[in-house]
Chain A
Amino acid sequence: MSYVFYPGCSLDSTARDFRLSTEAVARALGLDLPELPDWTCCGSTAAHQSDPLLALALPAKNLLAASGRTVAVCCAACYSQLKTANHRIAAAPEARAQVAGVLGADYDGSTPVKHVLEIMRDDVGLGEIARRVRAPLTGLRVAAYYGCLLVRPPDVVRFDDPENPTLLDNVLAAAGAEPVEWSHKTECCGASCSITKVEIVERLAREILTMARDSGADCIATACPLCQLNLDMRQRDIEARSGDRLGLPVLYFTQLLGLALGLKPRELGLGSLMVDPMPVLASKGIVAGRGLAVAASVSVRGQA
């Protein structure tokens, strides 16, 4: 299977560590992920809240540029936007015609779009991942957090069970981690209110973090840059306001998988996380003390 990688704006900015770790893991698994040349915005948020046609045409432009290769995506918002565009264009001829008018080329909605998690499951195979694990994440209890966009709307994305998805859990289990049973896998983190109504985001994020902690998780694994941002960046504020100690590192699943595949914390961008994962990882023997020192210094820089 040949892919083109669509990073999207988050992976180019706030979620550079997601990109770094995804590419490192892809290399370790022998997966070739060339970047889609000249990609543009996926049409999320800013576009889809202001201009429905723009919100279709932007993803269509990118999908057309993939010339039929499978578009590999990391960001849940991009994933949702690209899948929705395919769904709409394939189902509604008038939408397709409108988009063709804007793009100057006809796009039929057939370019395959896959989240990196789906590629892990379908193309790499969980068994193969397990075979390649060098440093299993034994004893690490992880809350797999999917967020809202990855699984919804179910008819459009067809990602996994929309209420109790298990794909991320299974990938983590293949890496030797112990996924916890918890009920907030697909709750909203409030990302769309991230700038306008921070108190809503904090309330929702606190609920998710508390549930994960109370379910016995040592950390949270996400597959969405917005979720990661909200749960990680706001955690200190939430703790301060509620007086409730959380201390839950929030990692991209690629970062955890990378560690299991034997990659170094530095190669995976662990230093840029706000809640330092190193104490937890070191306590489980997943990273050595040396890695801790390096990462700690990076993490100070990241927070500065």
Chain B
Amino acid sequence: MDQNLPTGAVLVYGAGIAGIQASLDLAESGFKVYLVERSAAIGGRMSQLDKTFPTGDCATCILSPKLVECGRNKNIEIITLADVESVTGAPGDFEVRVRRNPRYVDLKKCNACGDCAEVCPVKLPSEFDRGLGERKAIFRPYPQAIPNVYGISKADGAAPCRNACPAGINAHGYVALIGQGKFKEAYEVIRERCPLPAVCGRICQHPCEDACNRREVDDPVAIRDLKRFAADWVYANRDQLDEEAIVRQPPPATREERVAIIGGGPAGLTAASDLSRMGYGVTIFDAREALGGMLRYGVPEYRLPREVLDYEIQHILGACVEAKTGVRVSDPASLLRARPPANDDSSSAERAPVNVNDKKRGEFDAVFVAVGAWTNRQLDIPGEDAPDVWPGLKFLYEVNSDAQPPVGPKVLVIGGGDVAMDVARCARRLPGVESVHLACLERREEMPAHSWEAAEALEEGVEFHNSLGPTEILAEEGKVTGVAFHACTRVFDEAGRFSPQFDASQTSSLATDTVIVAIGQGVDAISMSPIVMGPGGRVVSDPETLATNVPGIFAGGDAVLGPASAIDAIAHGHRAAEAIHRYLRGEMSQSGAATAAETKVAPNPNPSARKQARMPMPQAPAEARTSDVREIDLGYSEEDAITEAQRCLNCGLCSDCRLCETVCAPGAILHHMRPETEVLRVGAVILTPGAEEMEPSLRGEYGHGRYANVVSSVQFERMLSASGPTEGKLQRPSDGGPVKRIAFIQCVGSRDSARGNGYCSSICCMSATKEAVVATEHIPDVKIAIFCMDVRAFGKEFDRYIDRARDEYGVRYVRAIPSRVVEMPGTKNPRVRYFDERGDERQDEFDLVVLSVGIKPGASVADLGERLGIDRNQFGFCQTDRLAPMTSSRPGVFVAGVFQEPKDIPESVAQASAAAAGAMELLARGRDTLTRRHEYPQQRDVTDEEPRIGVFICHCGHNIASVVDVHAVARQAAQLPDVVYSETDLFTCSDTSQARLRDLILQHRLNRVVIASCSPRTHEVLFQETLRESGLNPYLFSMTNIRDQCSWVHRDDPARATEKAGDLMRMAVGRARWLRPLETRRVPVTRAALVLGGGLAGMTAALSLADQSFEVHLVEKQAELGGNLRSIHYTLERADIREFTADLVSRVAAHPRITTCVNSQLVELAGHVGNFKSEIEGPGGARTVRHGVTIIATGGVERPTEEHLHGRHERVLTQRELEAQLASGGLPADLGECPTIVMIQCVGSRTEENPYCSRVCCSEAVKNAIALKAQRPQARVIVLAKDIRTYGFRETYFQKAREAGVLFIRYPEKREPETFDDQGLAVRVTDAGTRRQLVLRPDLLVLSTGIAPAPDNPALSATLRTSLTADGFFLEAHPKLRPVDLASEGVFVCGLAHSPRFMDETIAQAKAAASRAATILARPYLEIGGQVAQVDPLKCTACMTCLKVCPYGAPTINGRRWVEIQAVNCMGCGSCAAACPANAIQLRHHEDQQLVAMLDELLSISGVPT
């Protein structure tokens, strides 16, 4: 390959309509495209719109085909959920680093059946509907999304509850599932990481709740209580449930190794459970008579009923877990079996391993020591050895062993922690106990017990005595009589360490007959030599692996931690099991890798969530509960649990419950995806990242977010949309009530340098009008007011639209910006305060207020300047020049769409094509180097074969198969004549099914294929491709949709749905018998362009094409190039146009590929796209030019006028005349230093005869007014206008003009100023603000007369067989999405021939026309589809009906006076075939015979003879 060739690939950043258009143009003209999009789907903002202005098209309907086209194009690689990190290199050869974020769904496998979203328990506010609706955590942004697959939203970090759980229980997961009533599934999520759900659900100290983000709103979600609920529910309903799901008895041991666990508490039980599920045999040794450890003997029964504990322990024991209770193991090493030393080199490096081989005589391969902490701490004061002094744990043990501890009627508990509370409350429940007192060192608020424990103890009548340090237990004759105390003045030092201080002078005593000491625990000081022991008798083990210094012996739980919580013990149980597993597999040395990286915690996704109190846990009444040991917490009802669970804020977004995995038939869910970065090599970059709406809260006085019935314009758009949250039903968000009055408030964030931005967002006036019109179509009697400063309807046909909205739909435009919106109590009606046109304050109530929010660069592109090395303007948009609007500050990086400046869809689309043209010019020599064109095998000739039909019925997962009996349909197919093969497939469209289809075609020599599945619109081309790859003509294919119009709509009636599917299948088979192979033709392309008009548009288009090495014939009517450019001197931004023009003209003249014909014009055009033939008449006579495309760039003219004494008074000028004066030496000197200069706008524009706006005049007036003030600062400059339409960044010049002292006076509609000569010029005008009449006496009167279409447009239009608008400009193929294409293929329009516009907009359109032209010229040949209309000359009467109905100009009358259809232009829509009165036209592939065969099949079975 030539080293100097540029890379023939382009990266397009942002897949809104602009990005899509640029990609399509590039791909179709021979470049590889990487279309990088941050969100999950392409389509951008346009996909959110309901309708478009001024055409009223459904936005989705016109966008969707573009999306599909983009998705199917082999040379466009769509990279969603991705972002550009950096761009390095030079133009022609860039390296772009792209980060792909995980979708968590396999793009290739997902078939968008939606089963996952169905089961997903997490509902999140829908971003697409701007929070008005909800979506699931696994979702598709909208039904037409491309790529049409689901994706999962995961937060940046773990849900705080899950993160806080030491045992790693997925709290978010089970809470979300409970919220959806999926209790069994919730239980299963808990069981994943907790073998004791009901126990844990009762006694866990719930660090999850301490971390819960809901705390910021009100109270944490009752996570623990929900866990208990799920477990209790499953156990209560076990009869109805699958026993397996509940018990999950571990399978018999599958591994040889055996593990001993010493201690049957929560740590030991968890390790046993985990190890048994890994396949190890486990034996639990426990010194006490029953398993459960502290859960059984330390926790009072009123908190944890025995039967709950017993039931869950039963689940852990089983075939491979045995329990040996009442067995005390004092030498763990003795349990180990001797192992080869090779496996023993693995424990921590810090402690030398001890050789204990001599002790090894047991039968176990590993031991887990989890003996707990059972020793009581002592007070160490006189009298402690009296018999009536009980250690707390001993007391609890007795109580829990159902022994009646012999305590007296007056009990005093010493200690302030949870155990002390348990002890005191147990004592309260003992028969014979009359009073329970509790004394502790701490103040009430310092007590270490959980506050609710203390509160419940108080409720039950325990009396607290705080800040007391015991000094002696008083006894008389061996019987305790009381305890003496001195005052505790401080418990903790400044650093918070336990360091009590006492005041010995303050003494007191409490009388009692029993003392229970509950001030802390320690570990049993049993000898475990040679295991290293630490302080307090704790066993020392590695914090990560729990390995002790003795290989094979692990230790955890309270024995290591000291007295800790049950959940910490469970966590140790898991850790031990994992470590033992690794140890036994000889993988211990890899333990380091298992160390958890710093986990990120997800932020609160909704800090301003609505407050909703935590569901209280129902409790037995305090007076009833001290009489026995029954459980005091009664548990939630199903309704309570669901309500409480739905308080969850879903911090993790996806709750990781994995339910989607279980239902996804194609197995597309990939929860473990990670971000990836790749480097792409491209020659150019096009930036089309779009924009986002401004925050409605910029204008806080309107109460968005605070008042339910105040919405943003984007939200309103979603409300109108049939796919929106209310399915297009317009209703008040507050109560769903009817909407009768709507107010739109314009300029929220726009034209507001104080709070928002100083520019105009350009689109809002029109989009508000469109929304008003659509709303009126929804609700005919709705009253709508649009509050605005100006009505900026500057686009093509826009003013007509405004007029219709006002006159036909009754939309009221109020020239006022309201000062405030308040919400009326009760009705919640927003009330708008404003000053009406008479200057009176008014307050009107509405049902709905819509805030027209402006647009600004998105937050996600805030650092795009740094990432890409491009300059941004003061507002954060891409910095460009008016004379090079698609060029960023970095060569090779182009820009288009709203990221360049706010603009509407057609301008964005034109700019996108223009940016593509920029890339094409740069990379012209790299064209066709990286694209691929598919080559197919030779087509089999089937003409002499009998039909051999293969029928394929798709299940579409459960979409079809759950309703339609697909096997029955396939069996029915097999019975039909000519059908030689039939089968069903889970997904016919999957890669594997398509490969199978190829094989079956060969194997069975199929020559017709019928597929009954989903929509041909999305899948027909895919299947036809497969046919071509198998050597079959793609037209030997018939597809029928048994999903959208069958299984989906007849869900309730499977039998008849099956019958209908059978009918549809038979009809398709009937048609298939008559299918014929159709030939596709290739027509070579003349690689030259004809450009009509040598002004800015024509020269720009010509240069762009010539730079791409296409031949260009440039035809100019006048003697020299330049057109209107010659009368423009400078732009609003003060760029020198003279210089620019001279440069352009000389570049055109010098270009070797441009042939310029001046003083010439087109007289005849023949041929069609790809091969036109034109007659050009010039000075040297007529000549013929052959070309593949035609570009109309014939311009417009300044409208001549005789109004306002123009031409009759020397001091009345047009703006253009004024500009010439200003540029050539300035104002006449005799005007003096302070002349009065009046400008009148809309002279001859926006009138009855010329209802359109000329777009440029307001900015021209502002430009010249500023220039006037610069030349004569004392001059009084007054501009009279109906509106000032300085859109986009031009608004800043409007502001500059006002700052310079230019006065703008608004006059009302239809009250044009009058000019008369009254001893000098006089202008009479009505001021719209005050309704007063003013008479101005200007020294100079300047008229803005606007732009008129070129006078010879009608003649040219006739020659080209194109259409003009009512205003006389060329009519484009589609005003939104094909702004520079004409309806006739291969003809394009740009510049003033299209509509009035500025130079930058003309440049964009001209380059766009070049880009569109290049998509034709770059092809070696045009391919003509087989599905085209054909005329039978014997039947044709040349009635011309087809010429009228054809939208593409394909039929023409030939020399023999019958119609011929130009296959090149035919799109196969069939309109002509349907309309032809002589039935002379057949649409191939849909011929009469084929349709009749379908009807025969349908009707014959119904019993009706055909």
Contacts and interface: CB of A to CB of B under 8 A. Distances in A.
Interface stretch (B700-708, B1367-1375, B1451-1459): B700-708
Interface in B700-721: 700-701, 703, 706-707
B703 A182 contact: no
Contacts of A214: 824-826
Contacts of B700: 161-164
B384 interface: no
B822 interface: yes
Interface in A161-210: 161-164, 182-184
A216 interface: yes
Contacts of B825: 182, 211, 214-216
A161 B698 CA distance: 11
Contacts of B822: 183-184, 211
B797 interface: no
Nearest to B705: A164
B845 interface: no
B1385 interface: no
A183 B703 contact: yes
B823 interface: yes
A223 B824 CA distance: 24
A215 B707 CA distance: 13
A155 to B, nearest CB: 10
A49 to B, nearest CB: 24
Contacts of A211: 822, 825
Contacts, number: 22
Q: Max chain A CB contacts within 10 Å: which of B703, B707, B823?
A: B823
A174 B1496 CA distance: 79
Contacts of B707: 183
A276 to B, nearest CB: 24
A261 to B, nearest CB: 17
Contacts of A162: 700
A79 B1263 CA distance: 46
Contacts of B703: 163-164, 183
Interface in A211-244: 211, 214-216
A163 B701 contact: yes
A103 to B, nearest CB: 33
Interface string A137-169: 000000000000000000000000111100000
Interface string B1412-1424: 0000000000000
Nearest to A161: B700
Interface string B750-770: 000000000000000000000
Contacts of B824: 214
A161 B706 CA distance: 12
Contacts of B823: 183
Contacts of B701: 163
Interface in A60-116: none
Interface string B796-833: 00000000000000000000000000111110000000
A161 B707 CA distance: 15
A105 B822 CA distance: 47
B826 A164 contact: no
A215 B822 CA distance: 12
B1207 to A, nearest CB: 54
Nearest to B701: A163
Nearest to B700: A163
Interface string B558-587: 000000000000000000000000000000
A188 to B, nearest CB: 11
Interface in B589-608: none
B756 to A, nearest CB: 15
A211 B826 CA distance: 10
Nearest to A183: B822
A184 B831 CA distance: 12
Contacts of B826: 214
A215 B701 CA distance: 18
A11 to B, nearest CB: 30
A216 B826 CA distance: 9
Contacts of A216: 825
Nearest to A213: B825
A284 to B, nearest CB: 19
Interface string B691-702: 000000000110
Nearest to B830: A183
A162 B826 CA distance: 24
A231 B308 CA distance: 62
A215 B828 CA distance: 10
B1188 to A, nearest CB: 61
Nearest to A162: B700
Nearest to A211: B825
Q: Max chain A CB contacts within 10 Å: which of B703, B707, B824, B825?
A: B825
A195 to B, nearest CB: 23
Interface string B1090-1115: 00000000000000000000000000
A275 to B, nearest CB: 20
Contacts of A215: 825
Nearest to B707: A183
A183 B700 CA distance: 12
Nearest to B699: A163
A211 B701 CA distance: 16
A162 B707 CA distance: 16
A215 B825 CA distance: 5
Nearest to A186: B701
Nearest to B697: A163
B248 to A, nearest CB: 43
A162 B700 CA distance: 8
Interface string B817-856: 0000011111000000000000000000000000000000
A128 to B, nearest CB: 11
A64 to B, nearest CB: 33
A162 B701 CA distance: 9
A234 to B, nearest CB: 21
A240 to B, nearest CB: 23
Contacts of A184: 822
B933 to A, nearest CB: 60
A162 B703 CA distance: 11
Nearest to B608: A166
A225 to B, nearest CB: 25
Contacts of A182: 825
Nearest to A214: B825
Q: Max chain B CB contacts within 10 Å: which of A164, A211, A214?
A: A164
Interface in A4-45: none
B858 to A, nearest CB: 24
A216 B825 CA distance: 8
Nearest to A184: B822
A216 B823 CA distance: 14
Contacts of A183: 703, 706-707, 822-823
A183 B823 CA distance: 6
A161 B824 CA distance: 21
Nearest to B702: A163
Nearest to A210: B825
A162 B823 CA distance: 17
B254 to A, nearest CB: 54
A197 to B, nearest CB: 15
A158 to B, nearest CB: 15
B845 to A, nearest CB: 13
A265 to B, nearest CB: 28
A55 B701 CA distance: 29
A248 to B, nearest CB: 13
Q: Max chain B CB contacts within 10 Å: which of A161, A163, A214?
A: A163
22 contacts: A161-B700, A162-B700, A163-B700, A163-B701, A163-B703, A164-B700, A164-B703, A164-B706, A182-B825, A183-B703, A183-B706, A183-B707, A183-B822, A183-B823, A184-B822, A211-B822, A211-B825, A214-B824, A214-B825, A214-B826, A215-B825, A216-B825
Interface of B: 700-701, 703, 706-707, 822-826
Given A183-B703, A214-B826, A215-B825, 6 more contacts: A161-B700, A163-B701, A164-B700, A182-B825, A184-B822, A214-B824
Top 3 A-B pairs, shortest CB-CB distance: A163-B700, A214-B825, A183-B822
